[in-house]
Structure 1
Amino acid sequence: MHVYDECPNVLAMTLYDGCYNDLSVAAASPQIAVEPAHFLADDGHQLRGTWFVPADAPIGAVIVAPAMATRSSYYTAFATWLAEAGFLALTYDYRGMGTVAELRAARDTSLLTWGGDAARALETLLERAEGLPVTYLGHSMGAQLLPFVRHDLVSRIVMVSTGVGSWRFNRPRIKVPAWLMFRVVAPVTTRLVGYYPGGALRMTGDLPTGAMRQWARWCLAADYFAVDVPDIHARFAAITAPLTSVHFTDDELLAEPAMSAMEALFTGTAVDVRRLAPADLGADRVGHHGLFRARLRPAWNELVAPLLAT
């Protein structure tokens, strides 16, 4: 199994996040138990995830909602740390995120379907948490799905590297390639192979056809979510839980205006904004995905631990 130190720069633009899908760190710790999680979505679809259970009574619970084209295995080291710190943690995969057969079978899956998957995963955690304070930790797309989950039952929200995904907010060097990916590459490849083969193309990771097409529609639209969700502003306004937004200045995908645009949607709660440089964490690079890499464990203790509900 490959473990990458960094994602490769491809076409001089770092559109490829798919290498993160190959990163799986075994959770081997006498302080925790690791258990498979299986639960049904509202439409009866079987969803899967992983429980990370502390040895002693948990002090809180955390759901880790994954980024676009990023499998739950990428968060294994981070979820292991959460359990070692006393938190019941759940990671999960959106439907279709798996084998080629699963990707093709999930061709009609949309981002809104994934919102339902996120909602059911959170409900599954709430059922097991039995009154514990719950933190919703969303990475990129994982936090964009907040309007579609039971955020009223969440004690704290932490969103990491989360911005409005419009291509207009991409870093200058990837604006044109991103536009071409959404406008040309995605429509052609999904029609030809039955899913979006982003891993092979080294332009994001593999995605079900429907999810990729809806993501493209959002990213090409001026109002992003609103092109399919007319009441999106009211949905965001209904979110009242304390919220912290963490963004790194070397994010290779989204520029700072993307984060600000996302944060501005949360009109029902105060947003604690953390704009951090890699040096603030004692690192040379963090980027869009890097906070969850095991080498940044010291930063988890200093940055993330104080943000979790206990």
Structure 2
Amino acid sequence: MKSVELTANNRYLHCVRFEPESTVKATIVIAAALGVKQRFYQPIARWLSEQGYRVITFDYYGIGQSVDKPLKQIKSDIIDWAELDITSVLDYAQSCQKGAPLIWLAHSLGGQIVAMAHNANKIDKMVTIASGTGYWLKASKQVRWTSWLLWYFAAPISTPIAGYFPGKRLNMVGDMPAAAMKQWSRW
């Protein structure tokens, strides 16, 4: 396991690369769900590495370890994550590839926004998990209630007060830049 810092596009991205002990079968990039830190995916990344895959996890700018200043000063939104962060991570993954296929393993948002990266064509294969439409009225009753509470109460009240979305304190999603939360709520 090796920490990697990417600083393209005036953004700080923290990645972790897991190298297999055997010949690399493929490079897998694990793209997180909204507000989920890459640390959540490390057990599967370790396991995949033990199976012969090089695995790269990352935090979008303003999430987890990809924070280089107070969160209220980070103006990043979801389109920036797609167009800038994913682009940088794909460039990095390709530089590590050495001929091995590149696989995009995405959870939720990570599968929804990858097509906005101008270099998404570098991906050889893609697997998405729970990357549906995100339309809250098509979700279960519990998720509909939680979504309504998040988007129409918690986010509009707490985000302007804190200057970012304090999801950790609210036990909802996770901390994230205000622009990303506003955009997600609007979508």
What's the TM-score, normalizing by structure 2? 0.91
| Residues in 2 aligned to 1:206 and 1:40: alpha-carbon distance in whole angstroms | 21
The answer on 1:137 being equivalent to 2:102 is: no
Per-residue deviation, 1:90:
0.3
Per-residue deviation, 1:55:
1.7
Per-residue deviation, 1:68:
0.9
Question: Residue by residue, what CA displacement relative to the aligned partner does 1:202-240 show, whole Å, maximum 9, x if unpaired?
Answer: 22221111110000001xxxxxxxxxxxxxxxxxxxxxx
| Residues in 1 aligned to 2:28 and 2:3: alpha-carbon distance in whole angstroms | 16
Partner of 2:179: 210
1:123 to 81, 91, 107: 91
Per-residue deviation, 1:151:
2.6
Letter in 1 for 2:179: G
| Residues 36 and 51, structure 1, Cα contact 8 Å, conserved in 2 | yes
| Residues in 1 aligned to 2:177 and 2:88: alpha-carbon distance in whole angstroms | 19
| Residues in 2 aligned to 1:189 and 1:121: alpha-carbon distance in whole angstroms | 31
Partner of 1:10: none
- The unaligned stretches of length 5 or more in structure 1 are 1-33, 219-310
Residues 102, 163 of structure 1: alpha-carbon distance in 2 compared, 3 angstrom cutoff: farther
Per-residue deviation, 1:81:
1.0
Tell me the percent identity: 29
Partner of 2:34: 68
Q: Of the two structures, which has the highest relative contact order with CA contacts closer than 8 Å and spacing of 6 or more?
A: 2
Q: SS of the residue aligned with 2:19?
A: strand
| Residues 54 and 84, structure 1, Cα contact 8 Å, conserved in 2 | yes
Letter in 1 for 2:13: L
Aligned residues: CA RMSD: 1.6
| Residues 90 and 122, structure 2, Cα contact 8 Å, conserved in 1 | no
Per-residue deviation, 1:56:
2.6
Partner of 1:152: 121
| Residues 96 and 105, structure 1, Cα contact 8 Å, conserved in 2 | no
2:10 to 36, 44, 54: 44
Matches within 5 A, 1:243-282: none
Per-residue deviation, 1:98:
3.0
Residues 188, 89 of structure 1: alpha-carbon distance in 2 compared, 3 angstrom cutoff: same
